Amino acid sequence: MKLHLSSWPEVEAYLKTSRGIVIPIGSTEQHGPNGLIGTDALCPEIIAGEAADAAGFLVGPTFNVGMAQHHLDFPGSMTLRPSTMIAALQDWITSLVRTGFDRIYFLNGHGGNITTLNAAFCEFYAEYSLRGEACPVRLTQNNWWQLPGVMDVCKKHFPVGEGGHATPSEVSVTYYAYPEAIKSVEMHPKIAPSGRFADAADFRASFPDGRCGSDPAQASPEAGARIVEAARTALVRDVAAFFAS
């Protein structure tokens, strides 16, 4: 069940049986020569959508622009300042709470969002703590690739060249859902270098084609289907436990 494809009476009826919602959250940023710019938002959206169909929980619209300043030297990348993202998340959370939700699960697809998401949660809880009130709302986040069993499947398909950005696993997930967007690109070198980075100029200088330690040319819809299956199964269990907490 998707929030943005539901009417308000349908959401009102849902709230009589559950006050939990899943929000996919990601980024709009380059993912190497053959990865889709929307990869980090698409992956949690795809996985959450399939899990919701299987388990009947509600999925909200995808928060699809995150903290990705280090990718801005690549055309098409977008970012929010951490302060802007925290403010936007506060409004999303407060709106959902105002309409009746008290368990909000963010399924994340971008490592750069983790710290900012945690800061947004702290900001929300602080309002209750400063007033001396117990907060009835619970917020949580999880990275889709860290759901139980998912990395086992990723490593099975890509024992070499998984890397840390523009990975064959995440590209495979998008190719599974959008086979019409598959791109065949020869990578040079086959496996990209790894390392640390600071700002956008430093990232582009260190990783000229946008990859970090990865070989996404290995990506396939078939691998993506198996990764999504593992993530979907794990997410259903994780969301059920969180909603019941």
Predicted pLDDT of residue 235: 98
Cα–Cα distance, 68 to 111 (Å, whole number): 9
Summary mean pLDDT of the chain: 98
Q: Please report which residue ranges of 149-209 form alpha helices under DSSP H.
A: 150-157, 168-177, 200-206
The CATH class given to the 3-243 domain equals alpha beta
Per residue in 49-77, pLDDT (tens digit) is: 999 999 999 999 999 999 999 999 999 99
Residue 90: count of CB within 10 angstroms of its CB: 15
Residue 188's pLDDT band, with cuts at 50, 70 and 90, is: very high
DSSP bridge partners of 58? 21
Domain ranges within the chain, ordered by starting residue: 3-243
Q: Which stretch of DSSP H or E encloses residue 48?
A: helix 39-55
For the chain, percent of residues with pLDDT exceeding 90: 100
Predicted pLDDT of residue 46: 98
Count of helix runs (H) and strand runs (E) in the chain: 8, 4
Predicted pLDDT of residue 47: 99
Residue 83's pLDDT band, with cuts at 50, 70 and 90, is: very high
Tokens 């929030």 locate to 3
In whole angstroms, how far apart are CA 203 and each of 9, 72, 74, 114, 243? Answer: 48, 9, 10, 19, 39
Predicted pLDDT of residue 12: 98
215 close to 191: Cβ distance less than 8 angstroms: yes
Whole-prediction pTM value? 0.97
Mean pLDDT within 198-215: 97
Per residue in 119-163, pLDDT (tens digit) is: 999 999 999 999 999 999 999 999 999 999 999 999 999 999 999
Residue 130: count of CB within 10 angstroms of its CB: 8
Residue 232's pLDDT band, with cuts at 50, 70 and 90, is: very high
Predicted pLDDT of residue 36: 98
In whole angstroms, how far apart are CA 78 and each of 46, 131, 135, 197? Answer: 21, 37, 34, 18
Residue 92's pLDDT band, with cuts at 50, 70 and 90, is: very high
Predicted pLDDT of residue 240: 98
